[in-house]
Structure 1
Amino acid sequence: MTELRGDEAPVHAYRWALPSVLLGDARDGGRVRRSTRDWIVDILMFLAACFITLVSLGELEKQPTSEPLMAVEQVAGALACASVWLRRRWPVALSLVLAVLSSYLELVGGACVVALFTVAVHRPFKISAPIALINFLTLAPYVVLRQQSDDDRAWALALGVTVVLMVFAWGVVVRARRQLVWSLRQRAESAAQQAKQLERERIAREMHDVLAHRISILSLHAGALEFRPDAPPEEIARAAGAIRTSAHQALQDLREVIGVLRHGEPDADLVPDRPQPTLADLPALVEECRQAGMDVRLDLRAGGVPEGQGRNLYRIVQEALTNARKHAGDVPVTVTVGGERGKELTAEVRNPLAARHGARLPGAGAGLIGLTERAELAGGRLEHGPTPEGEFVVRAWLPWPVEATREETS
């Protein structure tokens, strides 16, 4: 029988003290608040104590007992059964008192068994074991003082030892099971929280990539208007429209990032899991950069790339193009994607090192660090840096297994 203390009902209110509350290790004398299940368990425990007391009373009446002793036994038995209702508040004290009384009185045995079981369940072994030992010791005076013959003494001692052992072992098993259930529940909650945190980080990382791309395009169009104030009205209107569209999309992405960071877990209604781009969307990304004024050349030689690796490769190329716009200005950028199924999938973004005219977009330097982490998590590697030829190159290698699910690129 597994039972919870009465003060366990509002478990959510004791989240930080969950191990103590769940396992019944609250301080003696604490306030008892019983749930419906607690009332049912307490009633059953009370009835069990009363049943054992009545059985013991029937056996006691068969023995030669003086009337004063019988009266004391009956009063003590009734009070002991009533004291069972205090077992949640003072389990150790109640068990000690009943164990001492059971050293001579027979009718307190039922309540003594219930009290011992309560201590074994709700207290650690270092407390419950001495209580069980005291119950063993109280068997000696009971057997010597109350039994008439050697056979009766042997039978009473064997029965008492068996009952104490069984009740104590039962309580220890119940406590161990409760600890295991609580531990598994904590592990499940911890794993769920970790999964939520990882999902938040994934969404925030995706939003960062998209947001940086939008803002860099916006800055590029604004720079064109700044350095060409005499441009034809059609070009100015087209650039202004691109700025408005990019700003609107950037604000939308920013709202989603704030929503992820504000709430304890990703909410599908607040942060929809948008369709993620793959390698098939790379030509559209390059065309968007060209419309923003970049000179981008794409050499795509890979087809049938797995969706997951294609998404990673798309993000790497996107961040590399964003960095090129930030730091290299209007220099031409070459994007080369290739590989062989069963070996490696490669991507290279190369641009000349050139001084940028005008304001430079600020950056925290975390973009390339994030790309390196993304490549390593995908089982690959990434290198970046200037070359002796005066170029800046970002190279990525990702595994391309043969058995992976493939995606047809266009």
Structure 2
Amino acid sequence: MSGDRPVPEPPAFPGRRWLLPSAVLDPAQEPGGGRPDRRPRRTARDWVVDFTCFLLAVGIGLLALDTVNKEVGLPDAYATLDQVLGALACAAVWLRRRWPTGLAVAMVPVCFVSATAGGAGLVALFTLTVHRPFRYVAGVAGVSVLLNPVFYWLRPDPDVSYPWAVFLSAVLTGAIVGWGMFVRSKRQLMLSFRDRARRAETEAALRAEKAQRLAREAIAREMHDVLAHRLTLLSVHAGALEFRPDAPRAEIVRAAGVIRESAHEALQDLREIIGVLRAGDSDDAGRPQPTFAALDGLV
């Protein structure tokens, strides 16, 4: 970076903020001037996705409730406990962005006890896959797959055979993990595109500033040569007056006029050189002497 002036960063995906998750948007670029150390505020897309996940968890829980009612020999107290845990699990879906790992880990024993919490468990597993590295996902998904045979052995599905129930649960878990990994990869790609665009914009601004500086320096060097020529001419005429103090009055007047004109032009060239070298620092930085037009700004 040239000097101490920071180069402004371009906005991330202007005009499409509501279509992007908060994880892709930089919190420092929020309209309210948010601090980088704060959590990014939810976008409209985040609210829509969270509400959809909540409805999905509730819908799967209602489907599982029908299966719970068909189970033979299930105590009424246990069925009530199943429904209460399912309702609490669906409500906990709103915490998935703040505590994805904790929610996914907590859902493993809850889903083992409550069939109506299965939808919330799938949403928690998907959120964990999107927001955390694969080692966390592998542990939670592996434990879930290992517990599914035990769950269906203790509570068999009246509509599906035991092998098919275990197989379908494993396939569904793998599908959720695969979908989450796809979403995570897509977000990382969008973040890389945003960072690449920001770096390209910064480099372009630096190149433009360097080109302007080089152009000002080239112009200043050319004007310096002109100024040196005028000062040389002034020195020659002054030396002639010093060498011929008894010259005719007309020649002395002409030499004095040439000296005065050369000094005035040298002063103008010097002002132009200073103006070119200081151009771009501020509005009035290139003006050696202020004028009456700058009186309002001074006041």
| TM-score, scaled relative to structure 2 | 0.74
Equivalent in the alignment of 2:293: none
Query: Structure 2 vs 1, CA of residues 8 and 141 (structure 1 numbering), >3 Å: closer, same or farther?
Result: farther
Equivalent in the alignment of 2:265: 242
Equivalent in the alignment of 1:157: 166
Give the 3-state SS of the residue equivalent to 1:179 in structure 2. helix
Distance 1:179 1:170 in 2: 14
The one-letter code sitting in structure 2 at the alignment partner of 1:251 is: I
Equivalent in the alignment of 2:99: 90
Distance 1:48 1:57 in 2: 14
Determine if contact 1:7/1:32 at 8 Å carries over to the other structure: no
Distance 2:192 2:23 in 1: 21
The one-letter code sitting in structure 2 at the alignment partner of 1:212 is: R
- Per the TM alignment, residue 152 of structure 1 is displaced from its structure 2 partner at its CA by 2.2
Which of these residues, 163, 172, 177, is aligned with residue 168 of structure 1? 177
Structure 2: segments with no counterpart, 5+ residues: 1-18, 31-35, 242-251, 286-299
Determine if contact 2:26/2:40 at 8 Å carries over to the other structure: no
* Residue 34 of structure 1 pairs with residue 42 of structure 2: yes
* Residue 57 of structure 1 pairs with residue 65 of structure 2: yes
Give the 3-state SS of the residue equivalent to 1:34 in structure 2. coil
Determine if contact 1:104/1:145 at 8 Å carries over to the other structure: no
The Cα offsets for residues 21-74 of structure 1, whole Å up to 9 and x where unpaired, read as: 9xxxx9xxx867433332222111111111111111122222223211110111
RMSD over aligned CA atoms reads 2.8
Could you tell me the percent identity over the aligned residues? 30
Distance 1:199 1:9 in 2: 26
Distance 1:212 1:181 in 2: 46
Distance 1:69 1:31 in 2: 40
Which of these residues, 209, 219, 234, is aligned with residue 218 of structure 2? 209
Query: Structure 2 vs 1, CA of residues 206 and 78 (structure 1 numbering), >3 Å: closer, same or farther?
Result: same
Equivalent in the alignment of 2:275: 252
Distance 1:184 1:32 in 2: 19
Determine if contact 2:27/2:40 at 8 Å carries over to the other structure: no
* Residue 225 of structure 1 pairs with residue 234 of structure 2: yes
Structure 1: segments with no counterpart, 5+ residues: 14-20, 263-410
Counterparts in 2 of 1:274-285, with a 5 A limit?
A: none
Distance 1:37 1:150 in 2: 37
Distance 2:45 2:160 in 1: 43
Give the 3-state SS of the residue equivalent to 1:4 in structure 2. coil
Equivalent in the alignment of 1:138: 147
Give the structure with the higher percent helix: 2
Query: Structure 2 vs 1, CA of residues 69 and 37 (structure 1 numbering), >3 Å: closer, same or farther?
Result: same
Counterparts in 2 of 1:71-150, with a 5 A limit?
A: 71-147=80-156
Equivalent in the alignment of 2:14: none
Distance 2:190 2:40 in 1: 23
Equivalent in the alignment of 1:43: 51
Count the aligned residue pairs: 246
Distance 2:95 2:40 in 1: 10
Distance 1:181 1:145 in 2: 45
- Per the TM alignment, residue 4 of structure 1 is displaced from its structure 2 partner at its CA by 3.1
Give the 3-state SS of the residue equivalent to 2:161 in structure 1. helix
The one-letter code sitting in structure 1 at the alignment partner of 2:97 is: R
Give the 3-state SS of the residue equivalent to 1:107 in structure 2. coil
**Higher relative contact order structure (alpha carbons within 8 Å, sequence separation ≥ 6):** 2
- Per the TM alignment, residue 5 of structure 1 is displaced from its structure 2 partner at its CA by 4.9
* Residue 10 of structure 1 pairs with residue 27 of structure 2: yes
